[in-house]
Structure 1
Amino acid sequence: MENNRSNYTSLLMIHIGIGVLLFIVPFLSKIFSISIFGFGVYYLIKTQNRNNEALVLSAYVMSVEVLLRMTNGMHFNEYGKYSIILYMLMGMFFTGFKKSSAMYWIFLLLLVPGIILSTFTLSYQVDIRKAIAFNISGPVCLGISAIYCYRRQIKFDRLMDVLTVFGFPLISILTYVYLYNPSIKDTITGTQSNFETSGGFGPNQMSTILGFGIFIFFVQFLLRSSTTKLKVINGGLVLLFAFRSIVTFSRGGVMTAGVMIVLLLIVLYFQTNVRGRFKLMLILVFTVFAALGVWTYSSLQTSGMIDKRYANEDARGRKKQSALTGRERLIESEFEMFMENPILGIGVGKNKEYREEMTGIEAASHNEITRMMAEHGALGILCLLILLFTPMVLCLDNRQHIFMLSFMVFWLLTINHAAMRLAAPAFIYALALLKVTINEEPVVHREQTVGSRIE
């Protein structure tokens, strides 16, 4: 799926059309979701996952999840996570998995006590199945995906195919958002997160997925734009995603994208030759000026409100008391839950109910780290340590995986402001565990190979 082929631009156009169609006839989203799922199962059976088709299909589902949520196309709330889990299991059935992935089997087993505990602690007024599924589907999706990806060998070009597939549903989302809210100036009245500029969807999750779009099309611009036409298309898409992500007034996705891009450039700088480094410096300068241009345009479109938002000020320029829009209280309450129940926690799904009893605040967790501590206790901390340190060990023997640090940062930053409500952080984390090879030549040729992609 190289970007110099005509099917890339054709698929971009098709997904612009999908965005328009779902905006006009939202009901078609339900048919679209069934079609995606059915085709995925059929295609995996047909190919028997010979070329990691499970990853490609999961990438598409991960990106399309937000579009389906926006248009009420989900037949059940955790469609994205369950679909990815099924694709990963089917992929493992056909092509197996590494026995050395035992740490992630342990991770999944450590989640079980919290699930059992919740069946006793949740009140009768709560739908126990939904409460548990809402909170545990993300970690389970991560665990299953991690087992599939753990040290699974994949060629760099195939990994780039996966990243390319991420981009197509994101184009549909971007199209929908522009159609839903074509005029930013007429919408912005304050510095709070804005549902109108987010396509009527949650600004936090929209910022996350649009921010991921910034990174995806920056990668396309950097590594898969073999012609001037493709450079213009992919560069333009980076700017469009950046603008719409900024004007959601939710900061998490924008900041995460920025860190991911910086880390990728740093990794490439140390893995390319002299000529490649020079070009990277030029790209960095261009990126900085482009970012300043997008920010200036965003500031003009929002009458300066976006500047106040990132300065943590209200519409009148007064400093807000909370730097995290009130999430400090949620985090504090989850620490209190952990301190009161340090061994097994309070049980999966009990978080929201327990907080309301403690503080009167009815809100779901925004932070997966403190949620794991509150609901799983010490076992949750052990789970987090497995997730954090396992990729760090793999990194020592996987230097050709130039996206590893960027993927890890996406996971870590996203679960700190949006928990795991989307499938994105779970699946992207797993991709960091892949064993990437540039080609079949010895590793000593890596510098020339990576450098040639930038040249």
Structure 2
Amino acid sequence: MFRPLGKPFFVAAMVYFIARIVMAGNKRKTQEILLASAYFVGAEVLFRMTKSGLSYEASKYLVILFMSMGMFYQGASGKGYPYFAYLILLVPSIIVASITLTFEAKFRTNIAFVLSGPVCLGMAAMYCYDRKVSQQLLLNILLYIALPIITLTTYLFLYTPSLKDVLTSTASNSAASGGFGPNQVATALGLGMFIMAVRLFLKSPNMGLKLLNMAIFIIMSYRAFVTFSRGGVIAAVFVTMAFLWTLYFQSKSNMKNQIIGSLILVVIAASTSWVISSNQTSGLLDKRYANEDALGREKEDIATGRVDIFMDEMNGFLSSPFLGVGASRTKNIRVEEGIGHLPSHNEIGRLLSEHGLIGVLILLILIFKPLSYRSTNRNNIFFYAFLAFWFATINHSGMRIAAPSFIYALALLHITYDKRPLHRKQIK
């Protein structure tokens, strides 16, 4: 009803957060930059599906802008130099693409589509590397991501009042995903599920908040299930398990009992959501996750064509192993062969194909630099969860949205904990 308000709202939010960053004192700059980035990461899919952004990649560009402002005001850690090298290593693929992309391909648009995510990751990682933030601020950052996802969830209910009218098969369903790509919607909702699970464990001191967070978790899970896109849901499960593993083994014995109690609530919430979703989809959801079609016959390809795309990318790597075929060239080749405009779902395959051996070096930086940092700084209880979200997402959805880039960078933060003040008796 109010589509024309979308773009003014986007601009207003952008101006609001930029103003907060500029006017903040030095001590609050980091907080404002990370909260601004978190908001647009959480709202990105909603802005895209309602065509509210100034451009399709606007949220990624804003995260890059916010991180650039942060480095302008505060600088960056010298120890994060591998991420500067990583950004430089992205350049050769652009040069190769200028030679290999066909005339019909829109050079700027195609390059921006495949490289905006990697550049966003590099800028965010450079800014966040070893930057000190409190655990309370990190929880607020996650909340700023979750709140727009709650709005997205509400929008999905308004957009699709009756699921039974739009579900006819076990394929991913855009009608149940707000008329947008189910993969991106499920990824955003999966991230929201993880954050609500975190709040159930760490930010629910009373039963009222536990029930509220549990209810939001159930509703988000339901909307994620009925997109019929499995990647985002499976990623949410693995990420939550990684978080709980770290939390449990870093907690004292009295806290472990509370964690087990909260885990039982999460399992009950997830089971409730699954039962409701299965009922609302007349059992089609069960067949989807069992890799069956609507008639109960097992599908041959569990990855719904993604293996074929990955093999095409491996052929590109073998054909040009040193510098790769160039940024966006793999999609361009599929267009030439009449397969269609199929973007890569797997960032690892795309890196190897389009960057060649440089892509191998990029992967080594992205995987081993955080692990090296973790060996000297173990304060971030979300480290493995954040890294798991990045890795799981780039393997089923590539870097189409800003979330995996920003979440990866959050794993590099230096988390501090508030110390309780010591009250000493005065000696008389």
Larger displacement relative to structure 2 (384-393 or 222-231): 222-231
2:415 alignment partner, SS class: strand
Q: Is the 8 A contact 1:50 1:95 kept in 2?
A: no
Change over 3 Å in CA distance of 1:100–1:115 after alignment to 2: same
Amino acid at match of 2:178: G
Equivalent position of 1:269 in the other structure: 248
Displacement of 1:435 after TM fit? 0.8
Equivalent position of 1:18 in the other structure: none
Equivalent position of 1:445 in the other structure: none
Quick one: percent identity of the two aligned structures?
A: 43
Matched, 1:180 2:155: no
Amino acid at match of 1:242: S
Match of 2:318 among 332, 339, 343: 339
> Which deviations, in whole Å up to 9, do the C-alpha atoms of 1:397-428 show, x marking residues without a partner?
22220111111111001011111110111111
Larger displacement relative to structure 2 (228-237 or 423-432): 228-237
Matched, 1:34 2:20: no
Larger displacement relative to structure 2 (337-346 or 227-236): 227-236
Amino acid at match of 2:238: V
Matched, 1:149 2:139: no
Displacement of 1:358 after TM fit? 4.8
Change over 3 Å in CA distance of 1:100–1:440 after alignment to 2: farther
Equivalent position of 2:45 in the other structure: 66
CA distance in 2, matches of 1:122, 1:30: 33
Residue segments in structure 2 that go unaligned for 5+ positions in a row: 422-428
Matched, 1:365 2:344: yes
CA distance in 2, matches of 1:188, 1:354: 33
Match of 1:420 among 367, 385, 399: 399
CA distance in 1, matches of 2:98, 2:420: 54
Displacement of 1:41 after TM fit? 1.7
Equivalent position of 1:118 in the other structure: 97
Q: Is the 8 A contact 1:338 1:377 kept in 2?
A: yes
Match of 2:288 among 298, 309, 316: 309
Alignment of 1:18-417 (within 5 A): 24-48=1-25, 50-51=27-28, 52=30, 53-358=32-337, 360-417=339-396
Q: Is the 8 A contact 2:124 2:409 kept in 1?
A: yes
2:158 alignment partner, SS class: helix
CA distance in 1, matches of 2:240, 2:111: 35
Displacement of 1:233 after TM fit? 1.3
State the TM-score, normalized to the length of structure 1.
0.90
CA distance in 2, matches of 1:317, 1:146: 45
Q: Is the 8 A contact 2:334 2:341 kept in 1?
A: yes
Residue segments in structure 1 that go unaligned for 5+ positions in a row: 1-23, 443-455
Q: Is the 8 A contact 2:214 2:269 kept in 1?
A: no
Displacement of 1:186 after TM fit? 2.5
Amino acid at match of 2:174: F
Change over 3 Å in CA distance of 1:30–1:211 after alignment to 2: same
Larger displacement relative to structure 2 (134-143 or 348-357): 348-357
CA distance in 2, matches of 1:308, 1:145: 40
CA distance in 2, matches of 1:214, 1:430: 20
Displacement of 1:275 after TM fit? 1.2
Total equivalences in the alignment: 420
CA distance in 1, matches of 2:376, 2:213: 32
Q: Is the 8 A contact 2:197 2:266 kept in 1?
A: no
Equivalent position of 2:426 in the other structure: none
CA distance in 2, matches of 1:281, 1:41: 41
Displacement of 1:350 after TM fit? 1.2
Q: Is the 8 A contact 1:48 1:91 kept in 2?
A: no
Q: Is the 8 A contact 2:125 2:408 kept in 1?
A: yes
> Which deviations, in whole Å up to 9, do the C-alpha atoms of 1:343-366 show, x marking residues without a partner?
000111212111333573431111
Displacement of 1:441 after TM fit? 7.3
1:27 alignment partner, SS class: helix
Q: Is the 8 A contact 1:312 1:319 kept in 2?
A: yes
Equivalent position of 1:11 in the other structure: none
Amino acid at match of 2:416: T
The CA RMSD measured in Å over matched residues stands at 1.6
1:436 alignment partner, SS class: strand
CA distance in 1, matches of 2:324, 2:133: 38
